[in-house]
Chain A
Amino acid sequence: MGASTAAKRGAERPDGGAAEGMPAERRIAILLLAATAAALGLAGVYIAGGQPQAEGALLGISLGGIGMALILWARGLSTEGTVMGDRGTLAGEDEDVEAVEEAVEEITDEPGRRSVLKLFWVAGGALVLSAVFPIRSLGPAPGRALLTTAWRPGARLVDEEGRPVRVETLEVGGFLTAFPQDAEHAADSQVVVVRVADGEIRPRPGRENWSPQGYIAYSKICPHVGCPVGLYQQDTRELLCPCHQSTFDVLDGARPSFGPATRSLPQLPLSVDREGFLTAQADFDEPVGPGFWNRD
């Protein structure tokens, strides 16, 4: 739709607004009346108790009607045809340009000023150099914080309500998320506790007494990028990470059997204390979560 078409239409309709049939004034009037009715209706709906969708629709009709009326007014009634204004030239007069060029040359050609110009470079360089130091503001180095969690020898396992996990809490085929007692908000310490039939687990060397009575606990943080491994497929004894479908074999030390994870989930050594509560024998024997720069 080019300018020529628009010009032709303008010629066909010398009054500049009246479309086929209805004059622009009447259209505008109808829109404004509709907007008025919708606004009153909006007030009515609100007083009657409110209904979000109806209120939204009425508000839309009211605002839209006023807007459409304004546009129609601007297009149809405000002017008679297109008005063109000259913009003038943007470039300066020739003698002005010359005068500026001369002035700049005068300023920079003086020998003393040239060395001052070099100082601009020096100052800029120093500023860039100073920007290196705020790297310190990123905070203290993590130290050993990434290597350990809140699990201490003898710490009881508690669920998300803070209730201690007892040896009869889970049935075979059950699972829950547990935290160390008195450190329930230590996000890096959460473990997923699974109970399988006693003797079903194939423990790794050195982990033979880590899973009493079929209870076995693994870090809930995926070693891939750290999502919670919160999905347990009971029939295949597999833990599943929802983010990238890394799958871990519960019976085989949470070895990754599918997906992008390359390391097994760290296993928490469990024991049952004399009162029947599940406790940790010690902290994990490896860092939890995804890899980091100085992880072994």
Chain B
Amino acid sequence: MRRRVLVLLALAGGSLAVALLTVGPSGAQVRPPPTATGNQPAGPADVEGGRQLYAIACTTCHGAEGAGVEDRGPSLVGVGAASADFYLSTGRMPLDRPRSQAERKRVAYTPVQIRQLVAFVASLGPGPAIPRVDARQGNLPEGNRLYANNCAPCHSSAGAGGALGHAVYAPPLNRATPVQVAEAMRVGPGAMPIFGPETLDDEQVASIVRYVDYLRHPDDRGGLGLGHLGAIPEGFVAWVVGLGVMLMAVRWIGTKD
């Protein structure tokens, strides 16, 4: 009786391993959040609408007319449309708790409201505009190289993100849209350094954007990517599942009938 249980276990483990190796990652596809402004030009009406929205939700921390409030929120004068669009379209702003790391969450505004707020912030002072990126213009191997040199130290080679100092982390990149990736490079949100046009030109940004997009659905030769966390989870599955099944099989072979 016990032997039959063992055989069943071995079979179950074996099929589990096969399933693990065959099924590709399915949880990776996440509906991209609404991209903020599109390319519609913002008019004076937008600035006015943005001013009203700003007065309701942003003034507490960023002050009247984006002047900033000490120990609460930075000035928004001159941060530019790219910064406002990045923070609003990823749901990072409005912030839940002041002085905590801004995290991607549900977007609080409609695309039209975001366009208005972005137009208002952009009107406060000159700053980087929302970058236009066409990932198809990017070169994938070039993007891989640039990503490895500039982005991977913090965001990890697979774009899974990683820990930094002071309880801050570099976020995973799997949900960032091409525009948001480009905005982050130009703006340097939070702890991230700025990669300006003199450091990485628009073509290089497009290449990186294309590579980040590729990382979302990489070619997993083994089947399951295991969260693309690298050799340790892969080794764990190989040792525990693979070796476990083999041990049970060896026992079954060696048991006398």
Contact = CB atoms under 8 A, between A and B. Distances in A.
Interface of A: 1, 3, 6, 9-10, 16-17, 52-54, 56-57, 60, 71, 75-76, 82, 160, 166, 168-177, 194, 228, 230-236, 238, 240, 242, 245, 247, 258
Interface string B150-162: 1001100000001
Given A56-B223, A75-B256, A258-B165, 20 more contacts: A1-B2, A52-B221, A53-B24, A57-B18, A71-B253, A75-B257, A168-B198, A170-B199, A171-B194, A171-B199, A172-B194, A173-B193, A174-B194, A194-B193, A233-B164, A233-B165, A236-B166, A238-B165, A240-B165, A247-B165
B166 to A, nearest CB: 6
A166 B196 CA distance: 13
5 contacts: A1-B2, A53-B22, A169-B199, A170-B199, A233-B165
B188 interface: yes
B254 to A, nearest CB: 10
B190 A235 contact: yes
B98 to A, nearest CB: 15
Contacts of B196: 170-171, 174
B195 interface: yes
B198 A82 contact: no
Contact of B193 (A10, A54, A232): A232
User: 6 tightest A-B contacts by CB?
Assistant: A230-B153, A233-B191, A173-B194, A171-B196, A53-B22, A234-B193
B26 interface: no
B29 interface: no
B136 to A, nearest CB: 23
B191 A76 contact: no
Nearest to B196: A171
Nearest to A170: B199
- Which residue among A9, A228, A230, A240 has the maximum number of chain B CB atoms within 10 Å of its CB? A240
B100 interface: no
Contact of B154 (A52, A76, A231, A235): A231
Contact of A240 (B164, B194, B256): B164
A3 B166 CA distance: 62
Nearest to B128: A171
Contacts of A258: 165
Contact of A236 (B191, B198, B255, B256): B191
Interface in B112-165: 149-150, 153-154, 162-165
A16 B136 CA distance: 68
Interface in B162-212: 162-166, 168, 188, 190-196, 198-199
B226 interface: no
A175 B193 contact: yes
B241 interface: no
